[in-house]
Amino acid sequence: MNNQWFSKVAVWLVIALVLFTVFKQFDRTSTAGSQIGYSDFLEEVRAKRIKQVTLQEGGGGTDIKAITTDDKVIRTTATYLDRGLVGDLINNGIKFDVKPREEPSILMSILISWGPMLLLIGVWIYFMRQMQGGGKGGAFSFGKSRARMLDESNNSITFADVAGCDEAKEEVKELVEFLKDPQKFQKLGGRIPRGVLMVGPPGTGKTLLAKAIAGEAKVPFFSISGSDFVEMFVGVGAARVRDMFEQAKKNAPCIIFVDEIDAVGRHRGAGLGGGNDEREQTLNQMLVEMDGFETNLGVIVMAATNRPDILDPALLRPGRFDRQVYVTLPDVRGREQILNVHMRKVPIGQDIRADILARGTPGFSGADLANLVNEAALFAARRNARVVEMTDFEKAKDKILMGPERKSMVMPEEERRNTAYHEAGHALVARLLPKTDPVHKVTIIPRGRALGVTMQLPEGDRYSMDKERMLNTIAVLFGGRIAEEVFMNQMTTGASNDFERATNIARDMVTRYGMTDELGPMVYAENEGEVFLGRSITKQVNVSEETMQKVDKQIRKIIDEQYANARQLIEDNKDKMHAMAQALLEWETIDAEQIDDIMNGKPPRPPKDWTPSNTKSSGGGATPSVNSDNAPAAA
């Protein structure tokens, strides 16, 4: 507070000095008349066009102010006192007055003499205080922590705003209870955890959960990002860590929350900087503050990351981060709870079913679901609706998963037919093979970077895949290229992404999952998780060239077998392929019911919103797909 007051006073003093000088100059020039030369002034006197003169001796000569016969004011200056001028004035009958030199006031003399020096001293004191960290956010406040403290009035988020992670909420609720009533745990010999690390994929609500703790605990809450510690200046990160913990000790009990701690908590010695690396100095200081000689009673450190594998082991040991809370992707029940939380903020229609939306969004994180509700509200606003309806959510899912429709894109008829058979090949193989996700929708409307998409809707959440499902997934991916070869007699670039994904699945089956009898249960893949340059240089490959040839042979075997399997299915069902491609060319989008009709040998029913005058339909909802390729290609 004192530093801020001093800064304001110094600024106002400078402004006052500048204004005084300007107004003084303005006052001097405001009363001045037109300036003429001294010789011209003498001619005016001899011509008797002057009726009154005032002479005033100044520091640099004599200032002369004259009033002409037509009441104009003129001024001139003589560098010396012209004694002949007095005679000229008397001879021409001009009234004149001689004034002594104006002596400045004592205040003005002090201001002129000492003002610049005092100003320099004030500026020097100001910058010295700033260098000591006195001005938060100032030019020299490098060592000050940038942690933002939230109090009860600035944070309205509570546990009621967090859904889909009940186990994680129970873990952190214990911290809130400890901060409110520490005797409940201390009487049994328990101690407060030094740190809590929240681990989970992006968008699962780790930061939101930390804000909810602050809102529930009603204690000071310091929030900072891991990237806020390190600057280009050496020692700044460690100084900011010390300052942050000093502030926390003064406000204990309190919580420190470090978001994205992997920015400063990466494994030491991994890069080329060694022990002198600025980031490592920051990490060392954090390790000391959390559990070194320093005792931080009542200070809980919370951190969030989605990369726990690269954190330094010293940071994860008990005594520093005693507890790791896993905030995973929500299941179907969690997604329904999250949707209910976000849909409280928008007016929804009577047809909205959160449970149906939850089942249709497997793999969505909390952030994805929040974005889904927001996009649905935007779709409703575009059609000037008063409430958000189910159709808006379906369109929002399509946009999020596949990108916006590109109906204005003009495709040649040959490419359009090729895309139709390509997508029909994916859909047919997916319907005929067991252990594949049911086909939910097929469209040849360009979306995002894809020219067409085959959407498969999982029947439920899945946490692992068996060998048969992975093999059938590879066959489904090959269905698009095989359909192009069989029905269009050509190969296009549309299957590039399909091949890439199929090859990756086959390689993982052989090198990571041990799903081949020839190579057995052994990992042959190199460790590619570490991206530091130092580790990359010293990376060792423990697989012989002969073994790698066997690996490539097994990958080729899996791909060839599934390619042949998919080709046999397509050639045995050419009539259904023709019917599905024709339906796609006519309506551009077909859903699961229409596909059922085709697979049962019946004519496909028209889309629900189709009329004879409207033969273009964009269809309904969508969920995570296994077949959507990048442009310029069909999926």
* Annotated active-site residue in 44, 216, 405, 423: 423
Say how far apart CA 198 and CA 190 lie, in whole Å: 21
Query: Which residues make beta-bridge pairs with 148?
Result: 223
Residue 453: which of 630, 631, 628, 633 has the closest Cα? 628
Contact 86, 96 (CB under 8 A): yes
Say how far apart CA 574 and CA 75 lie, in whole Å: 108
Cα dihedral: 85, 87, 93, 96 (round 10): 50
Per-residue tokens: 60: 């640099």
The helix/strand/coil state of 268 is coil
Max Cα-Cα span within the chain:
132
Residue 279: which of 311, 319, 318 has the closest Cα? 311
Say how far apart CA 210 and CA 274 lie, in whole Å: 33
Sheet of 61-68, strands arranged across: 34-35, 73-78, 61-68, 50-58, 95-99
What are the phi and psi torsion angles at 99 (to 5°)? -110, 145
The helix/strand/coil state of 393 is helix
Per-residue tokens: 519: 């190579």
Query: Which residues make beta-bridge pairs with 559?
Result: none
Residue 359: which of 160, 624, 626, 628 has the closest Cα? 624
Per-residue tokens: 261: 């701690």
Contact 484, 494 (CB under 8 A): yes
Asked if omega into 362 is within 30° of 0 (cis), the reply is no
Question: Helical H runs in 31-51?
Answer: 38-46
Question: Is 423 labeled as catalytic in the residue annotation?
Answer: yes
If residue 24 lies in a helix (H) or strand (E), which one and from where to where? helix 2-30
How many C-beta neighbours within 10 Å does residue 31 have?
Answer: 9
Residues carrying an active site annotation: 423
